Structure 1
Amino acid sequence: MPRWHPAILLALASLQLACTLLLLASEQGGRARRFLAALFTSEEDGPFDYSHPVDVYTNLSAGLESMGGKSMRDPVFLSPCPVVSPLLVGPISVQLSGPVNLSIISRRNPWVLLGGRHSPPRCRARHSCAVVIPHRNRELHLALLLYHLHPILQRQQLHYAIYIIQQAGNQTFNRAKLMNVGFKEAMRDEEWDCIFFHDVDLIPENDRNLYVCADGPKHMAAAMDKFGYKVLLAGMKISRPSIRLGRYKMIKHKHDAGNAANPNRFTMLAQTRRIWRLEGMNTLNYRRLSREQLPLYTNITVDIGPSEKAPARRLHG
């Protein structure tokens, strides 16, 4: 085998580095960057094989039963759960033609208590979260989400509860205000570590995308970036999982008349920088019509009042 002079090896290494930099700067750089990113992906990000997903209920009951009976639920006498849950499987199969009967879904989740609450049966959860889902006239989507979300959260060994915030009436659907209502209603029950605002038509595809707190606001659906204006204005940094981990499947649907886009949305967004400190939780006004503890979730129906209009522009003279 020939021996190479150190100077030649150094030159070859420099040439290889230069070629790599040129490749990154070329029109094909996007493909090269993705290739190099895959080489340096952390273990938390994979490798994940989405071509062979696992049923979300696979071995779930057996795993929970092996940790103890339902009577072992007082966290005071339990040891902390493992840092990494042994129940996680990674990519899961999203069944959009799966069960839509809530009674069937409830039977598939015998460890979920009234109000959509759950705690690990034989260890003390390290994290707690409330999942708030704004909702109106999306019963099919809600059933599909609950079918997948409950076992995912149980696999993560979380102490959690699911809150469905229903908007009464036929006014324009106000998702943002319903999220504020959900935050306030959930915090009435418990000092949750985190509050997750969840679209009813987005289903997670990987149970290793953890519903736990980050240092600041956390965007779970990494590939879907629609909001966050006020978060950026407040100087907070949004954390996201990698695209390989933060995958969600959207349930396709048509918008009904009550869920039409607010015609004032662009004017309101244009004035966000001026008014964001003056609105939100500090001006939240609603009327709670009902609060029900159902087998899979806590259902809260509210009247949030008439549709909001864009603030009047100030005239300077």
Structure 2
Amino acid sequence: MLNGIFAKKLAIPRDMLTKKAVKQSAENHTGARQMSFMSFSLDQKDIIAKQNCPWPPHNMIGREPLNRTIYDLKTLTTVFGYMKKGHFKPKNCSSYQKIAVVVPFRDREPQLRIFLNNFIPRIYRQQLEFTIYVVEQTPGNLFNKGMLINTGFIEAMKDMKYDCIVIHDVDILAEDDRILYTCGDNPAQLSTKIQKYGYSIPFERNFGGIVIFSTEQFKAINGYPNQFFGWGREDHEVSNRIRRVHYNLSRPFHQYGHCGSVQHQKATKGTDRLEMLRISESIWKKDGLFDLFDHAYTILEKQRKPLYVWIYRDIDMKKVRQKLVSYINKGGKVHK
């Protein structure tokens, strides 16, 4: 039987428990439970070598309002002194999964500070090992969210063998720490009740805000598209990729998916985003994670700050679009 307190608080369906987890829970004096959506990465040798962190976590608070105060980074570094070079690892137990958090970023410094102040304590209470990667694009070309995310994934995997990658918009923040940052059998959207959309999602195929993949899933969909410049539709293409490789789009914490929105100046929309969405249907296996190095992969700086790893990269839109021409058939309409 599930511990009554945790079952009520997290409302974990009985069918989300694996037989292995049920057996383990009977032997575990902490009463922790392991759920099927994150059990696949559990390694038996890790269980033997070190006691697992309690699961579900014991010190969850639930839903609480965002703190929108903009603190300076020095203050935040002092408050979150357990973060070392953007990384946290529980000292006394073994985290079930290692999480890379990738934040595509440009011109959002106040929002980044609000993000750090709200995100870090919530994931910290879940006792997960994690690193935050803030991937910033240089000024000049239109913002390319997809390529920044792909960059973050590649750079993260150079540092550690992560189990999961969280793609996190800097302006959409979880209000509830019961939104667990753990990956499972399908890619998952964790932000399902978004404040700026009336605490709902804008449309059924939306896959933005806060989403999570296992590393295998992210590779299987070839990451994010590289051809979307400006705001809009790259998340829709990722949703299509998930379906093309026969994953289901999961929303495991819909009951707790409340996410606050942080105001900022609106980003410039991509003028050809609908055309890129159409073209991506035929080139998605070429355009993405595995093709990233062909796009003049230029990392200007990778710096390990106290609260996050900062990656600064240049993206040349002209060169990226030149590559697109080689992908499509003659006569294909491409905006340059």
1:108 — aligned with what? Answer: 79
Matched, 1:200 2:149: no
Structure 2 residue 261 is the aligned partner of structure 1 residue 261: no
Q: Equivalents in 2 of 1:78, 1:109: separation in Å?
A: 25
**Cα offset for 1:99?**
3.6
Q: Is 2:83–2:307's contact at 8 Å kept on the other side of the alignment?
A: yes
Match of 2:60 in 1: 88
Q: Report whether the alignment pairs 1:245 with 2:256.
A: yes
Aligned residue in 1 for 2:28: none
**Cα pair 1:217 1:236 within 8 Å, conserved:** yes
Relative to the length of structure 2, the TM-score reads 0.68
Uncovered stretches (5+) of structure 1, i.e. residues with no partner: 1-40, 47-74
Does the residue aligned with 1:131 lie in a helix, a strand or coil? strand
Structure 1 position 277 matched with structure 2 position 285? yes
The answer for the alignment partner of 2:240 in structure 1 is: 229
RMSD, matched Cα: 2.4
Shift of the 42–268 alpha-carbon distance from structure 1 to 2, 3 Å rule, reads: farther
**What is the CA distance between 1:234 and its match in structure 2?**
2.0
Partner of 1:277, secondary structure, is coil
Is residue 288–residue 302 contact of structure 1 (8 Å, CA) maintained in 2? yes
Residues 242 and 157 (structure 1 numbering): CA distance in 2 closer, same or farther, change over 3 Å? closer
1:99-130 CA deviation, whole Å, 9 max, x = no partner? 4211111111111112x100112111112101
- Matched to 1:146, the amino acid is L
Instruction: Indicate the SS of the match to 2:58.
Output: coil
Whether the 8 Å CA contact 1:118–1:160 is kept in 2: the answer is: yes
Asked if structure 2 preserves the Cα contact closer than 8 Å seen for 1:45 and 1:245, the reply is no
Whichever residue aligns with residue 191 of structure 1, its letter is K
Deviations 1:135-174 (A, max 9, x none): 0110000000000111111100000000000101310000
Give ranges in structure 2 of 5+ residues lacking alignment.
Answer: 1-6, 13-46, 194-200, 208-234
Q: Distance in 2 between matches of 1:127 and 1:81?
A: 10
User: Residue 169 in 1 paired to residue 135 in 2?
Assistant: no
Q: What is the distance in 2 between the residues matched to 1:190 and 1:159?
A: 11
2:37 corresponding residue in structure 1: none
Alpha-carbon spacing, 1:205–1:185, altered in 2? closer, same or farther (3 Å): same
Q: Which has the larger radius of gyration?
A: 1
TM-score by length of 1: 0.72
Kept after mapping to 2: 8 A contact 1:214/1:239: no
Contact 2:70 2:110 (8 Å CA) reproduced: no
